[in-house]
């Protein structure tokens, strides 16, 4: 399917309290801490796998995730065989 | 350079690593647990489907062990089958006592169901994330030193050689945020880094076979690597992640082809979609090849408990009841599987009953190791059970053996050389390839579920050449920052493991279970053995190792020659009796 590896995760700076739980939660180190702003920010967004761990741990519901497939390195066999639905 | 010393060093903080840490600390050892991410939010344990094998005191374990052994084609160590079940019974009790959320019936009893691939073995549904949180809290209370966000780059050996003639002496790596180099010296080292997988083909994206790769470089024996191939149904409508196939079918989900046929009736009329995953994926591929696609997951028949469970236990379950997909209670939805490196204990580092590898002072546990309890077939829930139990035993053994010993000496020149190698990509000039592009090259090897199931010597040679190219590139490539540097080391490790998989596959001149070569489509009884690969000073060493006869309760039955199950399904032939 080769879906465009666009950014799947966003953090709302208006509601982020800078607690850092999302930074701990991310298994692939997508989120870092902005010292100047005192808030978390998406540093390596294209590596996000949409695993929901950061969203689950955020106490202020500041994290938004796309439901689109998380992964740019998966290919659909339906595309390979030209099967539409 | 930051230095740490401990009786027991554990690399990887999922179920295997934390159970090892907990047990080693209980025995009285000083313990360091190091992880590439944050222990309790790292790897496949946290992301696992929420099913684990659930033997209770009232169960006859002979019946369960027999099913593990026969479904696994007798290709196991039967002592491990019993050790797994007896150990997991205690781990389930621990989770109950600790208050880990477990799905229960109206009377408050654990709600159990037949594990996918099994008739007698039962699994339970629980919250793996809550279990991991509890494990972190408990090992912290026991004094385990947890070091998060350190990328281990290599094991340290006592003689400074890889492969070693000496012993494991710890590991080195770097803090992924600060770049500080870390030296971890230990009397015993346990590798518990989880599965061997490509980066970017599963949501568990930091399981890149780091532990097996670095142990392999140190001379450890990998077993049955060609059985690393596996997969599950995890892509919905070409663009959404499907939450846990195992959970869905446990609640009554079906697979139907474009004609509305429940095609698994033809291959496994008893277990249907709960058959061995390799059989279900092969049957899926057959539908596609025959023009009967798309295949849909039919959730119209699931029981009422599925929908609340899928919401509570799987955060990604929300997609099924969102506006993004048609109402799945009315409309079957197109689904497809992946097929590629996804070990789940079918392959990995060879360990004994105590978790020891063939390299002195090096142990392994969990999905980094070969699960000898279940042979070629891992039923739903058995990989996490193996993580818990193998971790416990490795921690117990490492702690006891370490108590009477001195810390190994490691020359400073060895550490300096390892530090230079770890950071070398940061000092190189940028080129055409980036670390991400290396992972693209590797992941493309698993682009097609159909091509991935139907292997041949010619195709395997092409795949092996890609891993050799990537291995070479990791010695030349530039990393622009520490985040990139982690990916270079991950690419090195994926390529190392994938190379061992394809080399082992080329060496095995037959087809068996989920491994199918169309140039050798028949099962050859002379391959009824463990298949080892390790690095020697002169190159790769392949070994055929007989199954242990100690403690055998069910007489070992050698496989008969015949068309393997994948070949039979792809060719449209009936499965032989022992496969169905």
> Which among A44, A71, A75 is the nearest to B447, CB-wise?
A75
> Which among A26, A51, A81 is the nearest to B288, CB-wise?
A81
pLDDT band at B314 (very low <50, low <70, confident <90, very high): low
Domain count, chain B: 2
Q: What is the DSSP letter of B341?
A: E
Q: Which residue of B has its CA nearest to A28?
A: B206
Q: Within this chain, do residues B304 and B192 fall inside the same structural domain, yes or no?
A: no
Q: Within this chain, do residues B347 and B313 fall inside the same structural domain, yes or no?
A: no
DSSP 3-state of B535 = strand
User: What is the tens place of the pLDDT at every residue in B29-64?
Assistant: 999 999 999 999 988 888 777 889 999 999 999 999
pLDDT higher than threshold 80 for residue B545: yes
β-strand B254-256 against B296-298: which pairing, if any?
antiparallel
Token reading at B176 = 């992924």
Calculate the average pLDDT of chain A.
88
With beta carbons less than 8 A apart as the criterion, state whether B356 and B397 touch.
yes
Q: Within this chain, do residues B207 and B249 fall inside the same structural domain, yes or no?
A: no
* Separation in Å, CA of A53 to nearest CA in chain B: 7
Q: Which residue of A has its CA nearest to B325?
A: A67
Q: Which residue of A has its CA nearest to B206?
A: A28
Q: Check residue A4 and give its pLDDT.
A: 43
For residue B49, which of B139, B113, B109 has the smallest C-alpha distance? B113
Q: Do A24 and B148 touch (CB under 8 A)?
A: yes
Question: What's the rounded Cα separation, in Å, for the pair B341 and B463?
Answer: 13
pLDDT higher than threshold 60 for residue B543: yes
Q: Check residue A77 and give its pLDDT.
A: 94
Q: Within this chain, do residues B356 and B319 fall inside the same structural domain, yes or no?
A: no
User: What is the tens place of the pLDDT at every residue in B326-354?
Assistant: 999 999 999 999 898 987 788 999 999 99
Q: Which residue of B has its CA nearest to A30?
A: B483
Question: What's the rounded Cα separation, in Å, for the pair B221 and B439?
Answer: 25
Q: Within this chain, do residues B128 and B6 fall inside the same structural domain, yes or no?
A: yes
Which of B48, B204, B239, B437 has the highest number of chain A CBs within 10 A, making it the mutation to test binding with A?
Answer: B239
**CA dist A54 → A22, B47, B508 (Å):** 4, 12, 43
Residue B218: inside a domain, yes or no? yes
Query: CB-based contacts of A51: which residues, under 8 Å, 6+ apart?
Result: A27, A70, B47, B203, B204
* Separation in Å, CA of A17 to nearest CA in chain B: 20
pLDDT band at A2 (very low <50, low <70, confident <90, very high): very low
Q: Check residue B574 and give its pLDDT.
A: 61
For residue B18, which of B94, B123, B79 has the smallest C-alpha distance? B94
Q: Within this chain, do residues B346 and B407 fall inside the same structural domain, yes or no?
A: yes
The DSSP bridge partners found for residue B478 are: none
Question: Domain range for residue B273?
Answer: 243-337
User: What is the tens place of the pLDDT at every residue in A38-53?
Assistant: 999 999 998 988 888 9
DSSP 3-state of B342 = strand
* Separation in Å, CA of A14 to nearest CA in chain B: 24
Q: What is the ipTM of this complex?
A: 0.92
Task: Please list every residue in chain A whose beta carbon sits closer than 8 Å to the beta carbon of residue B14.
Answer: none
Q: Which residue of B has its CA nearest to A57?
A: B41
Q: Do B486 and A29 touch (CB under 8 A)?
A: yes
Q: Within this chain, do residues B61 and B79 fall inside the same structural domain, yes or no?
A: yes
Task: Please list every residue in chain B whose beta carbon sits closer than 8 Å to the beta carbon of residue A25.
Answer: 38, 41
User: What is the tens place of the pLDDT at every residue in B478-514?
Assistant: 999 999 999 999 999 999 999 999 999 999 999 998 8
For residue B210, which of B1, B368, B442, B10 has the smallest C-alpha distance? B368
User: What is the tens place of the pLDDT at every residue in B251-293?
Assistant: 999 999 999 999 999 998 988 999 888 999 999 999 999 999 9
User: What is the tens place of the pLDDT at every residue in B378-411?
Assistant: 777 899 999 999 999 999 999 999 998 999 999 9
pLDDT higher than threshold 70 for residue B518: yes
End of a domain among B412, B442, B461? B412
| Mean per-residue pLDDT, B178-200 | 95
Count the neighbouring beta carbons within 10 Å of the beta carbon of residue B96.
12
User: What is the tens place of the pLDDT at every residue in B4-34?
Assistant: 999 999 999 999 999 999 999 999 999 999 9
Whole-number percent of chain B with pLDDT over 90: 77
pLDDT higher than threshold 50 for residue B100: yes
Task: Please list every residue in chain B whose beta carbon sits closer than 8 Å to the beta carbon of residue A44.
Answer: 483
Residue B350: inside a domain, yes or no? yes
Residue B522: inside a domain, yes or no? no
Q: Within this chain, do residues B332 and B345 fall inside the same structural domain, yes or no?
A: no
Q: Which residue of B has its CA nearest to A23?
A: B38
Q: Is A56 on the interface with B (CB under 8 A)?
A: yes
Q: Check residue B323 and give its pLDDT.
A: 84
* Separation in Å, CA of A1 to nearest CA in chain B: 7
Question: What's the rounded Cα separation, in Å, for the pair B20 and B211?
Answer: 15
> Which among B288, B439, B443 is the nearest to A77, CB-wise?
B288
Q: Do A78 and B293 touch (CB under 8 A)?
A: yes
Token reading at B137 = 């809290």
Which of B46, B242, B244, B483 has the highest number of chain A CBs within 10 A, making it the mutation to test binding with A?
Answer: B483
End of a domain among B350, B377, B412? B412
Q: Which residue has the higher pLDDT, B403 or B377?
A: B403
| Mean per-residue pLDDT, B525-535 | 96
Q: What is the DSSP string of A5-64?
A: ----EEE-TTT-----HHHHH-TT--EEEETTTTEEEESSGGG----SHHHHH-TT--EE
Q: Is A34 on the interface with B (CB under 8 A)?
A: no
With beta carbons less than 8 A apart as the criterion, state whether A48 and A25 touch.
no
| Mean per-residue pLDDT, B348-375 | 96
Q: Within this chain, do residues B87 and B30 fall inside the same structural domain, yes or no?
A: yes
Residue B89: inside a domain, yes or no? yes
Q: Within this chain, do residues B114 and B220 fall inside the same structural domain, yes or no?
A: yes
CA dihedral angle for residue A44, residue A31, residue B234, residue B95, rounded to 10 degrees: 150
pLDDT higher than threshold 70 for residue B575: no
Q: Check residue A1 and give its pLDDT.
A: 38
Calculate the average pLDDT of chain B.
93
All domains in chain A, ordered by first residue? 9-69 (3.30.70.20)
For residue B36, which of B210, B184, B169, B161 has the smallest C-alpha distance? B210
> Which among A51, A53, A67 is the nearest to B240, CB-wise?
A67
Residue B513: inside a domain, yes or no? no
* CATH number of the domain where residue B6 is located: 3.50.50.60
Task: Please list every residue in chain A whose beta carbon sits closer than 8 Å to the beta carbon of residue B281.
Answer: none
pLDDT band at B246 (very low <50, low <70, confident <90, very high): confident
Q: Within this chain, do residues B41 and B112 fall inside the same structural domain, yes or no?
A: yes
With beta carbons less than 8 A apart as the criterion, state whether B464 and B506 touch.
yes
**Phi, psi dihedrals of residue B573, rounded to the nearest 5°:** -95, 160
Helices in B348-474 by DSSP H: which ranges?
382-402, 412-423, 435-443, 449-453, 457-473
Query: CB-based contacts of B472: which residues, under 8 Å, 6+ apart?
Result: none
> Which among A44, A52, A79 is the nearest to B315, CB-wise?
A52
Question: What's the rounded Cα separation, in Å, for the pair B170 and B367?
Answer: 20
| Mean per-residue pLDDT, B173-191 | 98
Q: What is the DSSP string of B74-115?
A: T-S-HHHHHHHHHHHHHHHHHHHHHT--B-B-TTSPBPEEEP
Residue B433: inside a domain, yes or no? no
Residue B40: inside a domain, yes or no? yes
CA-based max dimension of chain B? 68
Q: Do B483 and A43 touch (CB under 8 A)?
A: yes
Task: Please list every residue in chain A whose beta carbon sits closer than 8 Å to the beta carbon of residue B199.
Answer: 73
With beta carbons less than 8 A apart as the criterion, state whether B321 and B128 touch.
no
* CATH number of the domain where residue B294 is located: 3.90.700.10
Q: Is A12 on the interface with B (CB under 8 A)?
A: no
Task: Please list every residue in chain A whose beta carbon sits closer than 8 Å to the beta carbon of residue B293.
Answer: 77-78, 81, 83
Q: Do A69 and B239 touch (CB under 8 A)?
A: yes
Residue B265: inside a domain, yes or no? yes
Q: Within this chain, do residues B126 and B21 fall inside the same structural domain, yes or no?
A: yes
End of a domain among B382, B412, B442? B412
């Amino acid at each position: 399917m080769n879906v465009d590896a666009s950014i799947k995760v966003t953090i709302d700076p208006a509601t982020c309290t800078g607690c850092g739980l999302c930074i701990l939660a991310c298994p692939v180190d997508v989120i870092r801490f902005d010292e100047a702003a005192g808030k978390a920010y998406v540093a390596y967004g294209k590596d996000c796998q949409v695993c929901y761990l950061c969203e689950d741990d955020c106490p202020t519901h500041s994290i938004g995730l796309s439901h689109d497939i998380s992964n740019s390195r998966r290919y659909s066999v339906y595309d390979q065989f030209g099967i539409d639905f | 350079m930051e230095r740490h010393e401990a009786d027991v060093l554990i690399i990887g903080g999922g179920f295997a690593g934390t159970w090892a840490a907990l047990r080693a600390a209980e025995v009285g050892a000083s313990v360091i647990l190091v992880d590439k991410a944050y222990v309790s939010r790292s790897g496949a344990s946290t992301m696992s489907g929420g099913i684990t094998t659930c033997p209770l005191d009232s169960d006859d374990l002979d019946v369960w062990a027999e099913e593990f052994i026969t479904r696994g084609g007798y290709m196991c160590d039967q002592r491990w089958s019993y050790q797994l079940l007896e150990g997991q019974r205690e781990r389930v009790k621990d989770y109950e006592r600790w208050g880990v959320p477990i799905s229960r019936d109206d009377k408050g009893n654990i709600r159990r169901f037949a594990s996918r691939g099994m008739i007698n073995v039962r699994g339970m549904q629980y919250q793996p994330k809550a279990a991991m949180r509890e494990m972190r809290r408990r090992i912290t209370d026991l004094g385990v030193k947890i070091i998060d966000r350190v990328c281990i780059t290599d094991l340290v050996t006592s003689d400074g050689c890889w492969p070693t003639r000496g012993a494991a002496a710890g590991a080195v790596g770097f803090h992924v945020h600060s770049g500080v180099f870390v030296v971890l010296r230990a009397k015993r080292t346990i590798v518990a880094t989880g599965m061997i997988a490509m980066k970017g083909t599963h949501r568990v994206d930091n399981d890149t076979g780091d532990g097996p790769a670095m142990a392999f470089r140190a001379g450890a024996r990998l077993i049955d690597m060609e059985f690393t191939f596996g997969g599950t149904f995890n892509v919905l409508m070409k663009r959404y992640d499907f939450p846990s196939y195992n959970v869905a079918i446990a609640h009554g989900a079906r697979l139907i082809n474009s004609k509305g046929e429940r095609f698994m009736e033809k291959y496994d009329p008893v277990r249907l979609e709960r058959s061995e995953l390799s059989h279900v994926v092969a049957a899926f591929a057959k539908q596609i090849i025959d023009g009967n696609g798309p295949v849909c997951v039919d959730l119209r028949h699931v029981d009422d408990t599925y929908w609340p469970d899928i919401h509570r236990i799987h955060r990604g379950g929300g997609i099924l009841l969102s506006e993004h997909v048609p109402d799945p209670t009315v409309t079957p939805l197109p689904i497809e599987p992946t097929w590629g490196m996804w070990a789940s204990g079918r392959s990995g580092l060879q360990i004994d009953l105590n978790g020891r590898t063939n390299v002195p002072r090096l142990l392994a546990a969990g999905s980094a190791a070969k699960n000898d309890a279940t042979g070629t077939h891992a039923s739903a829930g058995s990989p996490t059970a193996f993580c818990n139990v193998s971790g416990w035993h490795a921690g117990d053994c490492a702690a006891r053996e370490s108590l009477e010993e001195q810390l190994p000496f490691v020359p400073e020149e060895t550490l300096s050389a390892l530090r230079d190698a770890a950071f070398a990509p940061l000092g190189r000039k940028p080129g055409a390839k980036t670390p991400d592009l290396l992972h693209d090259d590797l992941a493309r090897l698993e682009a097609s579920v159909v091509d991935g199931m139907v292997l041949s010597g010619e195709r395997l040679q092409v795949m092996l050449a890609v891993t050799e190219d990537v291995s070479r590139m990791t010695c030349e490539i530039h990393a622009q920052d520490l985040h990139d540097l982690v990916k270079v080391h991950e690419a090195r490790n994926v390529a190392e493991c994938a190379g061992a998989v394809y080399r082992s596959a080329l060496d095995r001149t037959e087809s068996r279970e989920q491994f199918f070569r169309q140039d050798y489509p028949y099962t050859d009884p002379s391959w009824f053995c463990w298949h080892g690969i390790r690095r020697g000073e002169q190159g790769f060493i392949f070994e055929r190792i007989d199954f242990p006869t100690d403690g055998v309760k069910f007489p070992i039955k050698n496989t008969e020659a015949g068309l393997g199950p994948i070949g039979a399904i792809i060719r449209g032939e009936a499965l032989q009796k022992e496969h169905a």
